């Protein structure tokens, strides 16, 4: 409900907002779709099933999936620890959670290469003892993604835990339940929705990540080249069809995921608390 008059009239404002959105969002999206579907769906399919492209897409998906799994568990634990426990350095950790949001992704990549790079002490040691390469290999991708998406799950779960009605837990205690039962049957259920939406957010964010990955992964085709990096290659070699096709797939995944998250968050609000 708008008060009887917006400044400059309702339509002018609507118009301005709409123009803003159209120019920055809708037109660019339309163009890509038109371009990628130039040779129809078959053409699109052909482009993305090229071995390099296909591998890049799969790599992107599974590294994002692994990262999401780790992030969800650790993010949930971190949120729980920050809300329910008191310990030295608690305030520090709470602030550190937000740090990844502040750091440019490129800088993230640089930091990780410095710390875990094969020439560095840590990196060399890991390679010798465990045979694992982190940098210039898929594990590095997962690591970079973990850094970047760390706040997503924590900050979504924290407020829900904070505002939880503790008397339900008190009631369970008087009814005889032990700590694990209480956690499983009373604390956890309200967290499922926020956890899921936090996980999906991390996943969506990870799919398109570029700045850190391009530094950390080494971008070796068929090994550590993600979809975004592959895309860059296609753009630079002016393969428009390939570039557009991959772009469409990435946009579709991103869009689908964001819609899902939005739906989940709306559902969460509807459950009577």
Partner 1 sequence: MSIVLEKLTKRYDEHPVVNNVSLEIKDGEFFVLLGSSGSGKTTILSLIAGLVPADQGRILLHGRDVTWLPPQQRNVGFVFQNYALFQYMTVTDNVEFGLSIRKVPAIKRRQRRDELLELVGLAGLGNRMPWQLSGGQQQRVALARALAYQPDVLLLDEPLGALDAKIRIELRRNLKSIQRKLGVATIFVTHDQEEAFDLADRIGVMSYGRLLEVGTPEELYQQPQTEFVASFLGTANLMVGRLTSQGVNLGKWHFPKPKDIQEIGTERRVQVLFRPEDVALAPDAADLDCPNLGQADVEAVSFAGAYERLRLRLPPIPGVRPISPVVAFGSDFFLIDATRSPEQASRFPLHPGEKAWVGVHRIHALAHPGLNFLILTDGSPRSEAAISLGGQIGRLAHARVTLLGCGQTTEQLDAHLEEARKQLGSGLAAIETLLISEPAVHAVAQAVEKRPYDMIIMGFGYQEDLQLAEQILEAGEHNLLLVPQPQPTPSKALICVAIGEPGKDDVLFAGRLVSHLSAEATLLSVLPSSVHDQNMNSRIERFLEGGVRSLSLLGVPAKTVVRSGLTSEEIYTAVRENGYDLVVLGAPLSKPGRRISLGGVVSQTLEKITTCSVLIVRSHYYRG
Partner 2 sequence: MSTVNTDIDSKRRMISRETPWIRRILIGLVLTYVSLLILLPILSLVVNAFQDGLDAIVSALSQPDVIKAFRLTLLISLVVVAVHAIFGTLTAWVLVRDRFPGRIFLNGLIDLPFAISPVVVGYMLLLLFGRNGLFAPILEPLGIKVAFAVPGMVLATLFVTLPFMIRELIPVLENLGTHQEQAASTMGANGWQIFWRVTFPALRWGIIYGIMLTLARALGEFGAILVIGGGIQGRTETATLYIYRALDERQYIGAYSASLLLGLFSFLLVIGTDLIRRRERK
Does residue number 165 form part of the binding site for partner 1 (CB under 8 A)?
yes
Question: Which residues, in sequence order, are CB contacts of 194 under 8 Å at separation 6+?
Answer: 156, 157, 160, 268
Does residue number 235 form part of the binding site for partner 2 (CB under 8 A)?
yes
The length of the chain in residues reads 273
Does residue number 156 form part of the binding site for partner 1 (CB under 8 A)?
no
- Draw the binding track, 49-68, toward partner 2 (x: CB under 8 A; -: no contact): --------------------
Quick one: what does residue 185 bind among partner 1, partner 2, none, with the CB cut-off 5 to 8 Å set by partner type?
Answer: partner 1
Q: How far apart are CA 71 and CA 206, in angstroms?
A: 11
Does residue number 72 form part of the binding site for partner 2 (CB under 8 A)?
no
Does residue number 210 form part of the binding site for partner 2 (CB under 8 A)?
yes
Do 90 and 84 form a contact (C-beta atoms < 8 A)? Answer: no
Q: Of 101 and 188, which CB lies nearer to partner 2 in the complex structure? A: 101
Q: Of 156 and 172, which CB lies nearer to partner 1 in the complex structure? A: 172
Q: Given phi > 0 = left and psi -120 to 50 = alpha, else beta, which region is 104?
A: beta
Question: Which residues, in sequence order, are CB contacts of 264 under 8 Å at separation 6+?
Answer: 193, 196, 197, 200
Tracing tokens 């850190």 back to the chain, one arrives at: 212
Does residue number 93 form part of the binding site for partner 2 (CB under 8 A)?
yes
Does residue number 271 form part of the binding site for partner 1 (CB under 8 A)?
yes
Contacting range for partner 1; rule: CB under 8 A; set: 3-11, 44-52, 138-146, 164-172: 164-172
Q: Which listed residue (94, 120, 168, 265) binds partner 1 by CB under 8 A?
A: 168
Minimum CB–partner distance for residue 10 and partner 1 (Å): 38
Rg (CA), the chain: 23
Quick one: what does residue 63 bind among partner 1, partner 2, none, with the CB cut-off 5 to 8 Å set by partner type?
Answer: none
Do 121 and 106 form a contact (C-beta atoms < 8 A)? Answer: no
Closest CA to 154 of 62, 51, 83, 55: 83
Per-residue burial over 196-225, b if 16 or more Cβ lie within 10 Å, else e, is bbbbbbbbbbbbbbbbbbbbbbbbeeeebb
Closest CA to 190 of 221, 223, 165: 165
Quick one: what does residue 191 bind among partner 1, partner 2, none, with the CB cut-off 5 to 8 Å set by partner type?
Answer: none
Quick one: what does residue 186 bind among partner 2, partner 1, none, with the CB cut-off 5 to 8 Å set by partner type?
Answer: partner 1
| Residues that bind partner 1 in the complex, under the rule CB under 8 A | 165, 167-168, 170-178, 181, 185-186, 189-190, 271-273
């Amino acid at each position: 409900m708008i008060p009887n008059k917006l400044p400059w009239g309702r339509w002018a404002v609507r118009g301005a907002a709409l123009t803003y959105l159209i120019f920055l969002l809708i037109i660019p999206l339309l163009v890509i779709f038109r371009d990628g579907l130039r040779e129809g769906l078959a053409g699109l399919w052909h482009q993305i099933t090229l071995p390099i492209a296909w591998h890049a897409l799969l790599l992107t998906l599974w590294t994002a999936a692994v990262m999401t799994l780790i992030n969800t568990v650790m993010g949930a634990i971190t949120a729980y620890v920050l809300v329910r426990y008191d310990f030295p350095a608690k305030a520090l950790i709470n602030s550190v959670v937000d740090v990844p949001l502040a750091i440019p992704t490129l800088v993230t990549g640089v930091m990780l290469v410095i710390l875990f790079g094969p020439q560095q002490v840590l990196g060399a040691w890991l390679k010798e003892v465990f045979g694992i390469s982190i940098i210039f290999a898929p594990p590095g991708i997962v690591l970079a993604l973990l850094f970047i998406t760390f706040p997503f799950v924590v900050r979504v779960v924290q407020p829900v835990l904070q505002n939880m009605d503790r008397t339900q837990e008190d009631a369970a205690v008087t009814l005889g339940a032990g700590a694990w039962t209480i956690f499983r049957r009373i604390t956890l259920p309200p967290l499922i929705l926020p956890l899921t939406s936090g996980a999906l957010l991390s996943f969506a964010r990870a799919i398109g990540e570029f700045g850190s990955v391009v530094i950390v992964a080494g971008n070796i085709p068929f090994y550590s080249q993600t979809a975004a990096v592959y895309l860059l290659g296609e753009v630079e070699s002016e393969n428009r069809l390939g570039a557009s096709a991959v772009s469409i797939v990435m946009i579709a995944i991103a869009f689908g995921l964001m819609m899902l998250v939005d739906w989940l968050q709306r559902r969460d609000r509807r459950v009577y608390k």
